[in-house]
Structure 1
């Protein structure tokens, strides 16, 4: 069984400011915690106008890292993280009012990534960013929660600024070779994405150097803020668990009804074997090697039925784990899927 293998780089500096109000953290636990909960990376940027932005960011990073691994194994990643974020937000909000007497007493951005099995769960509030570098292509996978008014930028969402927390959550399928980069605005606001990509590619074998180079480049370009970057590259992933498997497949569209000669995911339909209300079964041939297979597809009329989708996915999930001469073997896909 393969194991998670990553390389990590971090750099944080006050930059042009007298104090550093940014915080970062990353933790890869030992087994069995790694399998049950995954690894976590967090970045936070204390709001400059807050009474104690540094404390706010430190609490966000420290508490998320420690509290996440204290949640029950039976909780999903999403349930665990959202409960922690909600409680942490209420604490920051309450302390901000009771200790500092202000709605901006303890306020910070927070972006967290939980890598469990082969899925990256992204939780995000504010304008820190998470990037994904894959196959030479860099994309931003978070969106900034801020607005531009009167020549200035203002956060529209942050930890501790309101009693009710509204953040973003998404799940990204992870591949070996992926590099995730987390930055505060003192870095990414001062470097074009093309230069960020070049630094990550040029220093792929030295992520500490890459993070340092990003901060130094931002400073040379005129950044007047704290400078923080954290990156990790995934070299190997563990066996995909059920939650990650379902997350990946439920993002795919339903296939249309197929006819002889049509091709789906590299399989050409020879003929329909059976059609029922819920599913269709086809005899197909693998275009890559000429081998005949049986393909089962879900009926498009059930594309909005979550119970049906769950049951359909469980058929394959269970079938891939059975090995018996009396049961048809479920083939492991060797190329990306376009449909469920």
Structure 2
């Protein structure tokens, strides 16, 4: 029997005088499958002040911006964490951009509700309104935040109004048949609670028609009272069906799915046949599997069975899946989605069928500098793609880098990945738990703050090894016990080990590998420029000028001849 999921209906209506700029925006986004289970359904309404040159853009931005970013947050984040972080980021951007606009701003009131499982999560800023109609009870769920200035009432605590955002939050249990009404402050002074109930109950089977009735009645009442120039915005959401409260039902949160037991070749899991066991370690298992329906082969990564009770690790495991889902790069492994729900905790990735960088170099000891630099650039772009999503890799070394049969780099090991906006201490401890090595930045061993420049060090150390077959320091950074050891770390020139390395590239490696994190490149893109093939950069300074040295010598000789002739003809 198919599992019962949350089901709802909604309707909308909007009316505005032609001479008034639209300033409101509303939306309902209904998701399906795992997204419905992990993130739920979103219903939003926003409203900007009418004395705003970009009122419509402000309202639209708040709605579209939230929907775009909320559904991109990690699956293991709960609703409150995901929505709050997205709203704070959206608020910071809106507040900073408003200073560049004359006569307008990205300030808007906003109310949004995320419906997930059997609960509603309500987030409110400003003076938009949300009501709940349950049976005969009609209740306002939001509070009006307004300020009187010069005879006008303006929203306070609104999105984009201040650098710090104060959000009203409430979690409400749902009942089948609940009706939620979203509207704007313009309705104040028009309809009474009894009007709302009567107009909605007139025909609850057609929510669009109910919203139209509300809009027409509000507009007529406003005209009677002499302020008919307002715009009215109504949105109704009805809960038609709730998920069953059955312990046998798969929990909606991915983190509560059971960890798979140890699998062997030939065994099956969720319609996937195990073809090979590729890795077993203290943290995870990696299997090559085949989908029994599509016959396609892929990699399955699952937590180690003995760690099934360690919630902190399981939370990090879900972050690994988020990285594979959200990071878009040809140099980062792709996630594979099954067209059916999962019953266990794991994720699937494209089977690269490649070899590690260590194995590749052993098979190609005579690889040219150009080939090695091409691999280095691909690896740097993979790390860049992670950093754009604010993810630290923390385990960049030759054994975590794959080279596919076409010579393309694929980064597929996310065992130590960590969100950069998380605590630096937790990121460092995770890297230590997975294991430090000769390519790890010194700050991991010394307990200092870690960040993007820590990945830059590991990348540069891997590139150094790729170009020279050696490591840049006699002493492994992972063996450091105090900060005095940093002063004893002396860089060994890459040119002394491989004369084909240019002086400019050697200097770039030296800087990216500086034991002091603050002295490395500020941006990874600066190091990437140094990895360009010298032939693409124009080689040495003579070629970079674009003029052959022989031409200059010819011109100088001609000038000298003309000077001698001028003396002889005097």
TM-score normalised by L of structure 1? 0.67
Secondary structure at 1:23 match in 2? strand
Partner of 1:267: none
**1:237 aligns to what?**
242
1:226 aligned to which of 224, 227, 231:
231
SS at match of 1:63: helix
What's the counterpart of residue 209 of structure 1? 209
Matched, 1:4 2:9: no
Deviation, structure 1 residue 44: 0.3
> Is the 8 Å Cα contact of residues 16 and 229 (structure 2) preserved in structure 1?
no
Distance 2:236 2:22 in 1: 19
Task: For 2:64 and 2:82, locate their aligned partners in 1 and report how far apart those are by CA, in whole Å.
Answer: 15
1:87 is the counterpart of 2:92: no
- Whether the 8 Å contact between 1:186 and 1:218 is mirrored in structure 2 is no
Aligned partner of 2:54 among 52, 62, 75: 52
The verdict on how the C-alpha distance between 1:204 and 1:17 changes in structure 2, with shifts beyond 3 A counting, is farther
> Which residue does 1:127 correspond to in 2?
127
Counterparts of 1:143-222 in structure 2, within 5 Å, are: 143-148=143-148, 151-222=151-222
Give 1:242 deviation, angstroms.
7.9
Q: Deviations over 1:49-96 (max 9, x none)?
A: 223111010001111112111111110100000101101111111111
Name 2:67's counterpart in structure 1.
Answer: 65
The structure carrying a bigger helix percent of its residues is 2
SS at match of 1:32: helix
Aligned partner of residue 99 in structure 2, secondary structure: helix
The 1:6–1:192 alpha-carbon spacing in structure 2 relative to 1, beyond 3 Å, is same
User: Whose RCO is larger (CA < 8 A, sep 6+)?
Assistant: 1
Looking at secondary structure, tell me which structure has more strand per residue: 1
1:74 is paired with a residue whose SS is coil
Cα distance in 1 for residues equivalent to 2:43 and 2:97:
25
Task: Report how far residue 186 of structure 1 moved.
Answer: 2.0
2:156 and 2:26 map into 1 onto residues whose CA distance is: 22
Whole-angstrom CA distance in 1 between matches of 2:50 and 2:8: 33
Q: Quote the residue 2:336 is aligned against.
A: none
Which residue of structure 2 lines up, in the alignment, with residue 114 of structure 1? 114
Given that 1:109 and 1:158 are in contact with CA atoms closer than 8 Å, whether structure 2 keeps it comes out as: yes
**Whole-Å separation in 2 of the counterparts to 1:92 and 1:198:** 39
Tell me which residue corresponds to 1:33: 35
Q: What is the match of residue 15 of structure 1?
A: 17
Residue 47 of structure 1 deviates from its aligned partner by: 1.6
Note the alpha carbon deviations across 1:120-144, whole angstroms, 9 max, x for none: 0000001111110001210000001
Distance 1:124 1:105 in 2: 19
Q: Is the 8 A contact 2:47 2:184 kept in 1?
A: yes
Question: CA separation of 1:112/1:189 partners in 2, compared to 1, >3 Å: closer, same or farther?
Answer: farther
Q: Distance in 2 between matches of 1:33 and 1:242?
A: 10
Runs of 5+ unmatched residues, structure 1: 244-340
Distance 1:15 1:197, change over 3 A: farther
Q: Which runs of 5+ in 2 are unaligned?
A: 223-227, 246-250, 254-570
**1:228-286: CA deviations, max 9, x gaps?**
0111111101135688xxxxxxxxxxxxxxxxxxxxxxxxxxxxxxxxxxxxxxxxxxx
Residues 194-246 of structure 1: per-residue CA shift (max 9 Å, x gap): 10111111121111011111111111011432210111111101135688xxx
Structure 2: distance between partners of 1:59 and 1:189: 28
Matches within 5 A, 1:217-296: 217-222=217-222, 223-239=228-244
**SS of the residue aligned with 2:33?**
coil
Report the counterpart of residue 275 of structure 1 in structure 2: none
Q: 1:32-56, CA deviations, whole angstroms, 9 ceiling, x for partnerless residues?
A: 1101110000000022222311101
Computing the radius of gyration over CA atoms, which structure comes out larger, 1 or 2? 2
